[in-house]
Amino acid sequence: MKRIAMIGMPNTGKSTLFNRLTGSHAKVGNWPGLTVELLSARLPIGDQLVQLVDLPGIYDLDGYSDDERVVTRFLDEVKLDALLFVMNASQTLRQQQLLAQLLQRADTLGLPVVLAFNMLDEASALGIRIDSEAIAAGLGLPTCLLSAKYGQGTERLLPALRAALQTGAQNLTPSDPAGFDTARFERIMQSSIDVPALASHQLTERLDRVLLHPLFGLPIFFGVMFGLFQLVFTLGKPLQDALAWGFGELRSAALEPLLSTLLSTLPAALQSSLLQGFLLDGLYNGLSTVASFVPLIVLFFLFMGMVEDAGYLSRAAFLMDGLMARFGLDGRSFVMLLMGFGCNVPALMGTRVIRSRGLRLLTMLVIPFSLCSARMQVFVFFIAILFSPSSGPLVLFSLYLFGILSAVLTSLLFKRQLVNNEAFVLEMPPYRFPTLRQMLLRGWSEVGHFLKRATRFIIAGVTAVWLLTHFPADAAPGSLDTWAGQLGSLLDPLMRPLGIDPMLTIALMFGFIAKEIVIGSLAVIYNQEGSALSATIAQQIDAIQAYSFMLFTLIYTPCLSTVATLQAESKSLRFTVMAVLWPLLLAWLASFVFYQLARLLTS
């Protein structure tokens, strides 16, 4: 199968174009450094199937960041049949050096290049005119003008790629193939692209006067985030309740009678109540309780995706840079923290754009404090049970702030060991409102990620919880006499000062595998689901205990996949061990101080 690599600077819409061409669900965002993995998908071109690879966005083929090294190593070591260079049509001048470097590399490797000017809608709005035919004739490059966001012009790109694959490498210059005629290249680009002297993003400039205001910028940002949490609760809680009710009705009306009928057909030796309990009280209760939170996850990422794709997170990085610098971090570190809202794993991989190893390790150390989607399920569950609808968003927002505070404290403690020696440079893209298609793809992508983790971790997790809470066979299910109860009792002297009882301790232990297991394990531990589970927990713990538990869940040891990524990205066992033990200690201290103070103040 032939292979085409897609290359370009950050913020040129490569991932959007990748999704548009392949129908894939690569993560799309409007700030640099988002694409950090070598995403690939099969793409039909004419009568053949081609592998299209989306390389990380880079600024320089001679650069030294991890992403730049990934790209250059890929170009040198992987057999390619063509290159697709994607340019932001509204920012052509600053990207010409990278294009020139790529043409030189392609000339050396004997690879054909197709040039795509993306974001044509923005360029047209600014009055920028690009003569694609002149560029194609002058450089010998198939050249296309398109807007991947709206699907304009993409139909001309596939024939161009097909022609490049058929004809092979072009002679890009009339000079010696071993050298590149830079002066001729610049003349052709300059004469073929007309940029008005007054071209500017007026709306962006007007918004930035307010949103980047030195006094009001940060309060506005935190207000936007609080509003996002409010919307998630207001719209998502009724949907979550309806789904939980539906799962309960499905069990009582269909699954229980069906399972009883099926078991009655089996030999007497196999008609065990233990098997029925495992299937219904174990697997079904655990999975249905977790699945009931899918509407909240979808809404959260739809709204977060709108903020991200609009370009506002780049502004947040700019606003936070001065403050973060005091803690040994910079604006990019804050961006990675925000990336961690989806999942800590891609956020950790996103640190590859940071060249300073000290800053990168420090950023990796603080990312797991982000309020990821898996933790959010736990928080929404307890908030819905023990807090009023009016106070719920405030409680969730306070946990968001606690995550940032934990990251700040950690960076203050470790910044002398992990020193940053790199200046902060971040591209500020114009504001863009994402299309409905982009928003739906984002929501579906997150649901797919959630379901993938469900099949990988949650089934195994709730199965293990059920076994531990139902054995030995002579112990009452869910009691302290079971294996799980014995483990919880063993840790009780350590966790009781935090207001966390043995049952909640068991859930935390399984949360180390994946935080998604926490809610499912509670359903198995208490042998209940839906409103019955909520009522039981509300009777056994109060709001102070619930907040202490959520605080511990927010801060303590990262999940297993995050730990594996920390090891893979840092290549340091010592750092990985520290990244596991420090949050565990911090979580205990934070929950202890909160719980003891809260009890003292309310006594």
**Mean pLDDT, residues 305-326:** 80
Residue whose C-alpha is closest to residue 190's, from 232, 140, 134: 134
Parallel/antiparallel/unpaired status of strands 82-88 and 143-145: unpaired
Clarify whether residues 247 and 165 are in a common domain. Answer: no
CB 236 within 8 A of CB 244: no
**Mean pLDDT, residues 454-462:** 66
Q: Is 6 helix (H, G, I), strand (E, B) or coil?
A: strand
Question: How far is the C-alpha of 119 from the C-alpha of 159, rounded, in Å?
Answer: 20
pLDDT over 90 (residue 582) = yes
Give me the percent of the chain exceeding a pLDDT of 90: 26
Mean pLDDT, the chain, rounded, equals 82
Question: Given this model, what pLDDT does residue 28 score?
Answer: 47
Question: Given this model, what pLDDT does residue 495 score?
Answer: 95
Determine, yes or no, domain membership for 444.
no
**Mean pLDDT, residues 424-446:** 71
Clarify whether residues 373 and 299 are in a common domain. Answer: yes
pLDDT over 90 (residue 377) = no
Question: How far is the C-alpha of 193 from the C-alpha of 134, rounded, in Å?
Answer: 9
Between 8-12, 110-114, 263-267, 583-587, the lowest mean confidence (pLDDT) is in: 263-267
Q: Is 151 helix (H, G, I), strand (E, B) or coil?
A: coil
Parallel/antiparallel/unpaired status of strands 2-8 and 82-88: parallel
pLDDT tens figures, 225-249? 788 878 877 888 788 788 888 888 8
Clarify whether residues 33 and 180 are in a common domain. Answer: yes
Number of domains in the chain: 2
Clarify whether residues 185 and 304 are in a common domain. Answer: no
pLDDT tens figures, 380-397? 889 988 998 888 889 988
Clarify whether residues 189 and 226 are in a common domain. Answer: no
pLDDT band at 506 (very low <50, low <70, confident <90, very high): confident
CATH number of 59's domain: 3.40.50.300
Clarify whether residues 235 and 178 are in a common domain. Answer: no
**Mean pLDDT, residues 529-552:** 91
Question: How far is the C-alpha of 342 from the C-alpha of 206, rounded, in Å?
Answer: 30
Clarify whether residues 226 and 182 are in a common domain. Answer: no
Q: Which residue has the higher pLDDT, 75 or 510?
A: 75
What DSSP letter does each residue of 545-581 carry, written as one string? HHHHHHHHHHHS---HHHHHHHHHHH--HHHHHHHHH
Question: How far is the C-alpha of 33 from the C-alpha of 325, rounded, in Å?
Answer: 19
Determine, yes or no, domain membership for 449.
no
pLDDT over 80 (residue 438) = no
Burial level of 466, CB count in 10 A (0-12/13-18/19+)? buried
Clarify whether residues 8 and 97 are in a common domain. Answer: yes
pLDDT over 60 (residue 532) = yes
H or E element in which residue 335 lies: helix 331-339
Cα 520 to chain centroid distance, Å, stands at: 22
pLDDT tens figures, 188-225? 999 999 888 655 567 777 888 888 888 888 889 888 87
HEC letters along 245-257: HHHHHHHHHHHHH
End-to-end Cα spacing for the chain = 71
The type of residue at 358 is G
Determine, yes or no, domain membership for 435.
no
Question: Given this model, what pLDDT does residue 443 score?
Answer: 67
Determine, yes or no, domain membership for 434.
no
Question: Given this model, what pLDDT does residue 533 score?
Answer: 86
- 29: CB partners within 8 A, 6+ apart: 15, 308, 309, 313
Clarify whether residues 21 and 89 are in a common domain. Answer: yes
pLDDT over 60 (residue 177) = no
Clarify whether residues 388 and 530 are in a common domain. Answer: yes
Give me the percent of the chain exceeding a pLDDT of 70: 87
Question: How far is the C-alpha of 114 from the C-alpha of 140, rounded, in Å?
Answer: 10
Clarify whether residues 414 and 501 are in a common domain. Answer: yes
Residue listed under structure tokens 């913020």: 11
The phi and psi torsions of 412 (rounded to 5 degrees) equal: -65, -40
pLDDT over 80 (residue 432) = no
- 312: CB partners within 8 A, 6+ apart: 211, 221, 224, 431
**Mean pLDDT, residues 49-69:** 83
pLDDT over 70 (residue 275) = yes
Calculate the alpha carbon distances from 588 to 325, 399, 494 in Å. 27, 15, 9
Question: Given this model, what pLDDT does residue 178 score?
Answer: 40
Structural domain of residue 374, as residue ranges?
219-264+273-420+455-602
pLDDT over 90 (residue 344) = no
pLDDT over 80 (residue 180) = no
pLDDT over 70 (residue 477) = yes
Burial level of 131, CB count in 10 A (0-12/13-18/19+)? middle
pLDDT over 50 (residue 97) = yes
Question: Given this model, what pLDDT does residue 228 score?
Answer: 80
Between 5-9, 16-20, 597-601, the lowest mean confidence (pLDDT) is in: 16-20
Question: Given this model, what pLDDT does residue 33 score?
Answer: 47
What DSSP letter does each residue of 98-139 carry, written as one string? HHHHHHHHHHHHT--EEEEEE-HHHHHHTT-EE-HHHHHHHH
Determine, yes or no, domain membership for 210.
no
Q: Which residue has the higher pLDDT, 307 or 590?
A: 590
Determine, yes or no, domain membership for 436.
no
pLDDT band at 341 (very low <50, low <70, confident <90, very high): confident
CA angle 321/574/68 to nearest 5° reads 50
Cα 205 to chain centroid distance, Å, stands at: 29
pLDDT band at 463 (very low <50, low <70, confident <90, very high): confident
Q: Which of 70-74, 87-91, 262-266 has the highest mean pLDDT?
A: 87-91
pLDDT over 70 (residue 425) = no
Residue whose C-alpha is closest to residue 352's, from 54, 63, 558: 63
Determine, yes or no, domain membership for 135.
yes
Question: Given this model, what pLDDT does residue 168 score?
Answer: 65
Question: How far is the C-alpha of 265 from the C-alpha of 581, rounded, in Å?
Answer: 52
Determine, yes or no, domain membership for 441.
no
Question: Given this model, what pLDDT does residue 454 score?
Answer: 56
Question: Given this model, what pLDDT does residue 200 score?
Answer: 57
Q: Which residue has the higher pLDDT, 472 or 268?
A: 472
Clarify whether residues 168 and 225 are in a common domain. Answer: no
Between 148-157, 263-272, 300-309, 412-421, the lowest mean confidence (pLDDT) is in: 263-272
Question: Given this model, what pLDDT does residue 179 score?
Answer: 45
pLDDT over 50 (residue 174) = no
Between 110-124, 269-283, 555-569, the lowest mean confidence (pLDDT) is in: 269-283
- 291: CB partners within 8 A, 6+ apart: 243, 247, 454
DSSP structure class, residue 422: S
Question: Given this model, what pLDDT does residue 369 score?
Answer: 92
**Mean pLDDT, residues 315-339:** 82
Between 88-97, 192-201, 529-538, the lowest mean confidence (pLDDT) is in: 192-201
- 358: CB partners within 8 A, 6+ apart: 418, 419, 420, 421
